[in-house]
Amino acid sequence: MSELFDAVDALLASRSPLPPPVERKRLRQAHGLTIDEVATALKVRRATMSGWESGKTEPRPPEREAYARLLDGLAKLYPAPPADTPPPTPANAVPATLTAAPDPAEPRTPPTEPVPPTAAMTPSENTQTSATAPVAAAPAAAPRPARTTRPSSTSRRPTTKKTAPATPLAAGADPRFENGPLAVIDVEDTRTLAYCTGGLVLDAPAKSLPSLVDWTLKEAKLGQPKLSGPGKDADPLLVLTEAALERYGLPVTLTNEERLAGRLPEDHKAVKQLARAEWKLTKRGFGPWARIYRPANGSERACVQLCIPSWNALDTRHWGTAGQLPPAQLAHVLGVYASRVMTPRGSTAVTGLELMTALHPATRASQPDADGKRHSELNPASLGKDPVDPAPCEAPDGHPLLKDLPRFHVRGPAEKLFEEAYDWARPMTDTECTLRYLVGIDVNLAFGAGANGLTVGLGAPTHVKNPAFDPKLPGSWLVDLSHIDLSRVKVAKDTWADLDASLLPSPFTPKGDRPKGPAWYATPTVAYAVELGYDVTPIEAHIRYDNGRYLDGWYTRLRDAYLATMADLNVAADLPPQDFLAAMDGSKDRDPEPAIVVSAIKATVKGGLGKLRERPRGDGWRPGEPWRALSRPTWRPDIRAAVIARTRTNLHRKIVKHAAFTGQYPIAILSDCVVYAANGPSPLDFLPYHQGKPLPGGFKLGINPGLVKHEGTQSVLWGEEVRERFNAPELNLARYIKDGTVTDVDNGE
């Protein structure tokens, strides 16, 4: 009997009634859905969905029943208006207004007062409305944007009229950028649409790339206010989907040759088209993050940045699946990042570096002179306009300062500053082998926490012989730390602890080896040697007397962005340890969009610091010759070294406190991840919490930067089996603790 019922249900489904094509489209748009979203939900191709909506084809079971169910539900939410009345205006829409378009010859400055809305336009006026009108803003209950019907051919042409914003500006919002910092450009049913943040969708009446740039600067109202007083406003960002690339004559993917070059060739028709329109490209050319500009005219900027996901602009290592998101969702993800960090200026590494400059611009306006005029002067909190040479010990191999060294000369610790993150491991003891689990903990935003409150050099170094060490002076110090014995160290004021030094890494080298003689160290490393209770006598130093806490604002903004986005994943900053572990468990799968932003923020921290010592990349570079990055004031390997040194010593301090209190020692350390052996699978099985309070100065569970989270757990048998399989008793298990997958093992490293 059930088979008969199933057969009857199939017959009913095969004839599920569908509304007329026009009504199908109205219902989809009323709910703010795109064709892509509906096609994905019904598991069909976009072209198939488009055919159903236009009436060219009809769906078959089982998709027909599902499509009919969707349309029936939408019809109940958005009933069709009576035939003799016009369609209702969306609740969040506002009447269109008429204002004169800005004269291209005038500077792009904000009006003194917002233009008030006027009465609704007459039908004759409406036919001339600019296609920059917001199609509609998304309802508060639905994150998807709604759009109006297709504009007439007249309204698709750029005109001298535009409309009021779809939603009122927030208090203090800049009216120049009322549509947000960026837009995702897509093509749907021959319409070019700009998906903005907040669910807003604009018609982009541009048939060519130069006209798209013109529209963006003159009518789109995209951009972001400056982050600091003497800074500059962020240029608008356009993200081009594959459909938009085809619309504007650009390839959907780059050829191998173009990918290696990182740009389109100079003779590409799109590049020539921009040149004919008197637009210029920066030195990196038309690549995944292209900048299109005209030379500045006074304080007026004319610059638009492009982001092209299908050219790998959004690196999957940092942005995950962002490049595959539908336009509205991609605009939301990038918009959250832009509002909390800044409008992306390139890769996360580039953006991290640009954020430093945006918060501390090189110049500022001076006080008025006798004639009342202001002039550009050095901003004392910045790194200045001109690059400075590093000390010879701070220069990486191949730097022009080292061009006179013999060929194939390898610099040792007494010639080269080598401050890097930990990569250390040791064999397990017999007692540790009797335990059941290996538990990894990871320091949140470790390098950001290392930058917080750190005094770094702002100018060039001064070479000093036989200096007295001063922990308040940033610089590089040649000093012998081989006498420091970790078997007895100071863990608090007038409190010493006896430890098993054979189970601890040295805090002075990335590999954890004990120094063998004089070596160059950054200030935080030498200061930690003094903190452990030992005297130091520097032989020489390169000291920076011009210094400051340059990275404080940078850290604060990234910390706030990180905490706000983790809160979106329901991970609060004040959770008790057990609740925190529960909240973190599966947080990335809870909502993929905030998880993408979290990943990008972390990459911004690490990448921004890495850019401080950017190495040469192709361009026919040879050792001893300068490379492009050296011309930046932000090429500062000494600042990078100081942050890494402080991060490494911060971690070692916690390890020492933990060992002194519990007698437990780490098995492996990789950068900011530490692995311990324990009898249980949770960090709470070895972290010494007492009545909910952690060990002072030790590891503490929490989401704030500098606190730790659970990285992963594997069995002790897994660790021993992996090391035996690869014949590597000191294989760094911290590298594989997260999911247990072991790859790329080379000679035990």
Query: Can you give 178-242 as a three-state secondary structure string?
Result: CCCCEEEEEEECCEEEEEEHHHCEEECCCCCHHHHHHHHHHCCCCCECCCCCCCCCECCEEEECH
Angle 46-54/35-42 helices, nearest 10 degrees? 110
- What letter would DSSP give residue 357? H
Residue pair 363/377 in contact by the 8 Å Cβ criterion: yes
Distance CA(476)–CA(474), nearest Å, equals 7
pLDDT at 436: 97
Measured at the alpha carbon of residue 580, what is the angle toward residues 579 and 585, in degrees to the nearest 5?
100
Distance between CA atoms of residues 507 and 662, nearest Å: 20
Give 377's strand partners. Answer: 364
Share of residues in the chain with pLDDT > 90 (%)? 68
Distances (CA, A) of 631 to 244, 349, 614, 616, 686: 35, 17, 11, 12, 49
Which positions ≥6 away from 248 have C-beta within 8 Å?
Answer: 208, 209, 212, 240, 270
- Per-residue pLDDT at 483: 96
* Interatomic CA distance for residues 643 and 445, integer angstroms: 12
Q: Give the integer Cα–Cα distance in Å for 306 and 213.
A: 10
Tokens 């605009």 belong to which residue?
Answer: 331
User: What local confidence, expressed as pLDDT, does residue 544 receive?
Assistant: 97
pLDDT of residue 22: 83
* pLDDT tens readout for residues 495-538: 999 999 999 999 999 999 999 999 999 999 999 999 999 999 99
User: Which residues, in sequence order, are CB contacts of 180 under 8 Å at separation 6+?
Assistant: 196, 197, 198, 200, 222, 335, 338
Q: What pLDDT does residue 83 have?
A: 53
Percent of the chain with pLDDT over 70: 85
The closest alpha carbon to 89, from 64, 121, 127, 125, belongs to 121
Here the tokens at position 66 are 């599902």
Given a contact cutoff of 8 angstroms between Cβ atoms, the answer to whether 358 and 235 are in contact is no
CA distance 181 to 431: 57
Domains assigned to the chain: 2-77 (1.10.260), 128-166+174-345 (no CATH)
Residue in the block written with tokens 């702002």: 458
Residues 6+ apart with CB under 8 A from 3: none
**pLDDT tens-digit map of 241-287:** 999 999 999 999 999 999 999 999 999 999 999 999 999 999 889 99
Phi, psi of 302 (to 5 degrees): -130, 90
What is the enclosing helix (H) or strand (E) of 318?
A: helix 316-319
pLDDT at 1: 55
Task: Name which of 114, 80, 74 is nearest 97 in CA terms.
Answer: 114
Of the candidates 144, 306, 195, 292, the one whose C-alpha atom is nearest the C-alpha of residue 240 is 306
Question: Strands 708-715 and 518-522: what pairing?
Answer: unpaired
Pairing of strands 237-240, 182-188: parallel
Q: How far apart (Å, rounded) are the C-alpha atoms in residues 261 and 267? A: 14
SS3 string of 721-739? Answer: HHHHHCCCCCCCHHHCCCC
Mean pLDDT, contiguous 10-residue spans, the chain (749 residues) = 58 70 86 81 80 80 86 85 49 34 35 35 36 40 37 33 42 82 94 95 95 96 93 95 96 94 94 96 95 84 95 97 96 97 97 97 87 86 94 96 92 97 97 97 98 97 97 98 96 92 98 97 98 97 97 97 96 94 90 96 98 89 94 97 98 97 97 98 95 92 97 97 92 96 62
- Residue at 322: amino acid letter: A
pLDDT of residue 129: 36
Residue 280 parent element (H or E) = strand 280-281
